Chains A and B, each alone.
Chain A
Amino acid sequence: MRLPARRIAPGRAEGPALVSPSPFSFVGGADPATGEVLDEASGCRGERIAGRVFAFPHGKGSTVGSYVVYGLAKRGVGPAALVNERAEGIVAVGAILAGVPMVDGVDVRGFLPGDRAIVDADAGAIDLPDVRAVPVVSVFLRNRGRLLLVQRGDRVGSFPGRWSAVSGYLERDEDPRDRAVQEVREETGIRDTRFRAAGRPVVARDGPTAYVVHPFLFDVPSRRLQLDWENVTHRWIRSSEIDGFDTVPRLRDVMTSALHGQ
């Protein structure tokens, strides 16, 4: 899988991924002598940063963090590369001082710990050679403020029994929006859809498979629909109710992305 990314600090490096789902401070978050992760909230406490492609949403905390990144690299226990969703000054400056390649604009939850990752900041891309990208569309239909969720049947190939938005595989070179319209027709029989928004893609991992989900929001004039074989039942929910459903991975983030794309 290849992910586009924005260059923050130049260079190219590779290593196994280390992932923190929460923002990270190098001051207090890592042992400055050994590069061991100390931050509990990172979910990777006790791991070593050395040689890893370290992915976390963004930096936080004291500006001294820049010097800590520099010191780690100087002692040979620094990260191979840094990957952020949204870079800020502390970590960015640290990466440059340390000579560590860094990119941002990447959904870090598309990484699993241990993924082999090649960060090419100069080319603006990250390669995960052992991960297979499966592009899909995920369409939230909206009617009078409520969103449609469907429950997947037993005969579908992935995530049977889970709740989902209307979704489908994207063929090579196919326009995601065309595919979205077609899936809505097939799965619900609804033809009268009004495009509202396309959100930023969300990556949902299932082992070595990475579903690259293209989120959409369509308005529909009525709640009448006819499910096909893929789904067994449906609900029109408020967005705040989504946590009460056993959904396919990251559906909440897909929904947020679709709603924020407006």
Chain B
Amino acid sequence: MNLTKDQGRLLEEGTPAQRKAMEILLALGEIGGAESLVPITSAHVSGASYKLIGDAGLEFIEDFAAGTRVAVPTTVNPLGTDLAQWRELGIPEAFAEKQARIARAYEAMGTRTIFSCTPYEQGVRPGLGEHVAWAESNATCFANSVLGARTNREGGPSALAAAIVGATPDFGLHRDEGRQPTILVDVDADPSGIGFDLLGLFLGERAGDGLPYVRGFRASEADLKWFGAALASAGSCGMFHLEGVTPEWRRARTKRLPTVRVTADDLEATRKEYTDGQDADLIALGSPQLSSDELRAIAGLLDRAHPRIPVWVFTSRAVREANPDAVAAVERAGGRVLADTCLEVTLLEHRFTTVATPSGKGAYYLPSLCRQKVILDDIRVILERYA
């Protein structure tokens, strides 16, 4: 690969962490067929939940953090627990302590510890054509599809390596060619609410690691957040185009693509396919974390309905602090608003067996990551059922 003088110097004379970071980028560039590294304006790193990365990850982050600082603005994905409320959640003390060590290690590297999977709702909004290195599948999908920024689906260490170097290998979704669709999707339904999650799950299973070009409906940015999160979970899609809506749909070439048609029946069948639970003992909202608007909307619903089982609402620390009234309303209804963490990366399995949720991403991961059965449905239906 062709390196700039500065990049070459990092590889030869950098700190141990800088050299490792360069080696990671070179290897991934070699595998992906990149000819050079492209400078990035931000990074988002995953691999912060102790539940997921365990002692091996903790050890690595602590070793790596010593004497390392990121070179570009870098945000961090959710942790395995709310750092302030872990006792109330029944999180074991040893878990909370190791989780706090991971958080401190990231902080020591100079990252912005938002512990959020929605950096795009936390003021990090790269523009059209801007190169970034984001891990976290929903964030990657949102950045590429909705913002028109450019990032591959990074893993925790590769995003961290890019953050330290300030550049990422130039291949895949960084290139015009890599942003062309591989599958055409005609949606013969008018999705709303949970319909966007269902559509994402349905298409993810069919698109695999392809890039869907979707047409047939309009959607807001918030709708696309839920669609993309489900799509990027059930498939390994890093991007989609939505005709007439997303910023790069006009550049997409759609001739001679294999075509999938989706009907309202397919969406309902998908809901049933992901529902294997009978009786929920937890209602969960979030995954991805809720925005301020979404938190206030849920608070409004809960104000009128006090469900008989616990409600956990996942959001970021910033959104929680900006909305004390909504938090109070959720708590009056017997619920909790949790920050720093998210649905499937926190510990649920020690307390619950079946989760009712409107999140497609949650429904996808809860069985494997939290050993939960799932009831996937619209939040209004769920609240009515558990009133």
Q: Which residues of A does B touch, CB under 8 Å?
A: 6-10, 32, 62-64, 66-68, 70-71, 74, 87-90, 92-93, 95-97, 104
Kindly list chain A residues whose C-beta atoms are within 8 Å of the C-beta of B53: 64, 67
B31 touches A67 (CB 8 A): no
B27 touches A63 (CB 8 A): no
A10 touches B59 (CB 8 A): no
A96 touches B23 (CB 8 A): yes
B31's contact among A70, A87, A97, by CB below 8 Å, is which?
A87
Kindly list chain B residues whose C-beta atoms are within 8 Å of the C-beta of A71: 55-56, 59-60
If A89-B158, A97-B20 touch, whether A8 touches B30 (CB-CB below 8 Å) is yes
Closest 6 CB pairs of A and B: A71-B56, A67-B56, A63-B155, A67-B57, A96-B23, A92-B27
A74 touches B47 (CB 8 A): no
Q: Tell me if B343 is interfacial: C-beta within 8 Å of chain A.
A: no
With both beta carbons as reference points, the residue of chain A lying nearest to B49 in the complex is identified as: A64
Q: What 0/1 pattern do residues 138 to 180 of B give for CB contact below 8 A with A?
A: 0000000000000000011110010000000000000000000
Q: What 0/1 pattern do residues 18 to 33 of B give for CB contact below 8 A with A?
A: 0010011001101100
Q: Please report whether the interface of chain B is mostly helix, strand, loop or mixed according to DSSP.
A: helix
If A64-B47, A70-B60, A87-B31 touch, whether A93 touches B24 (CB-CB below 8 Å) is yes
Q: Tell me if B91 is interfacial: C-beta within 8 Å of chain A.
A: no
In the bound assembly, the distance between CA atoms of A68 and B54 in angstroms comes to 9
Kindly list chain A residues whose C-beta atoms are within 8 Å of the C-beta of B30: 6-8
Kindly list chain B residues whose C-beta atoms are within 8 Å of the C-beta of A90: 155
B28's contact among A7, A62, A89, by CB below 8 Å, is which?
A89
B54 touches A96 (CB 8 A): no
If A9-B27, A90-B155 touch, whether A63 touches B60 (CB-CB below 8 Å) is no
Kindly list chain A residues whose C-beta atoms are within 8 Å of the C-beta of B64: 97
In the bound assembly, the distance between CA atoms of A40 and B319 in angstroms comes to 46
Kindly list chain B residues whose C-beta atoms are within 8 Å of the C-beta of A63: 46-47, 155-157
In the bound assembly, the distance between CA atoms of A90 and B24 in angstroms comes to 11
Q: Tell me if B52 is interfacial: C-beta within 8 Å of chain A.
A: yes
B60 touches A93 (CB 8 A): no
Kindly list chain B residues whose C-beta atoms are within 8 Å of the C-beta of A74: 59, 63
In the bound assembly, the distance between CA atoms of A92 and B64 in angstroms comes to 17
If A63-B156, A74-B59 touch, whether A89 touches B54 (CB-CB below 8 Å) is no
Kindly list chain B residues whose C-beta atoms are within 8 Å of the C-beta of A89: 28, 31, 155, 158
Kindly list chain B residues whose C-beta atoms are within 8 Å of the C-beta of A96: 20, 23-24, 27
If A89-B158, A90-B155, A93-B158 touch, whether A64 touches B59 (CB-CB below 8 Å) is no
If A9-B23, A67-B56, A97-B20 touch, whether A92 touches B28 (CB-CB below 8 Å) is yes
Kindly list chain B residues whose C-beta atoms are within 8 Å of the C-beta of A62: 52
Q: Closest approach, in angstroms, between the C-beta of B3 and any C-beta of chain A?
A: 15
In the bound assembly, the distance between CA atoms of A96 and B56 in angstroms comes to 15
If A32-B55, A71-B55, A93-B157 touch, whether A8 touches B60 (CB-CB below 8 Å) is no
A10 touches B23 (CB 8 A): yes
In the bound assembly, the distance between CA atoms of A74 and B30 in angstroms comes to 26
A67 touches B54 (CB 8 A): yes
In the bound assembly, the distance between CA atoms of A64 and B61 in angstroms comes to 12
Q: Closest approach, in angstroms, between the C-beta of A15 and any C-beta of chain B?
A: 21
With both beta carbons as reference points, the residue of chain B lying nearest to A33 in the complex is identified as: B55
If A70-B60, A87-B31 touch, whether A97 touches B157 (CB-CB below 8 Å) is yes
Selected A-B contacts with CB under 8 Å, 22 pairs:
A7-B30, A8-B31, A64-B54, A64-B56, A66-B155, A66-B157, A67-B56, A67-B57, A70-B59, A71-B56, A71-B59, A74-B63, A92-B31, A93-B24, A93-B27, A93-B155, A93-B157, A96-B24, A96-B27, A97-B24, A97-B60, A104-B31
With both beta carbons as reference points, the residue of chain A lying nearest to B64 in the complex is identified as: A97
Kindly list chain A residues whose C-beta atoms are within 8 Å of the C-beta of B28: 89, 92-93
Chain A CB within 10 Å, residue with most, of B54, B64, B157: B157
With both beta carbons as reference points, the residue of chain B lying nearest to A26 in the complex is identified as: B56
Q: Closest approach, in angstroms, between the C-beta of B342 and any C-beta of chain A?
A: 16
In the bound assembly, the distance between CA atoms of A66 and B156 in angstroms comes to 9
Chain A CB within 10 Å, residue with most, of B31, B59, B64: B31
Q: Closest approach, in angstroms, between the C-beta of A196 and any C-beta of chain B?
A: 27
With both beta carbons as reference points, the residue of chain B lying nearest to A92 in the complex is identified as: B27
In the bound assembly, the distance between CA atoms of A63 and B47 in angstroms comes to 9
Q: Closest approach, in angstroms, between the C-beta of B12 and any C-beta of chain A?
A: 13
In the bound assembly, the distance between CA atoms of A90 and B135 in angstroms comes to 13
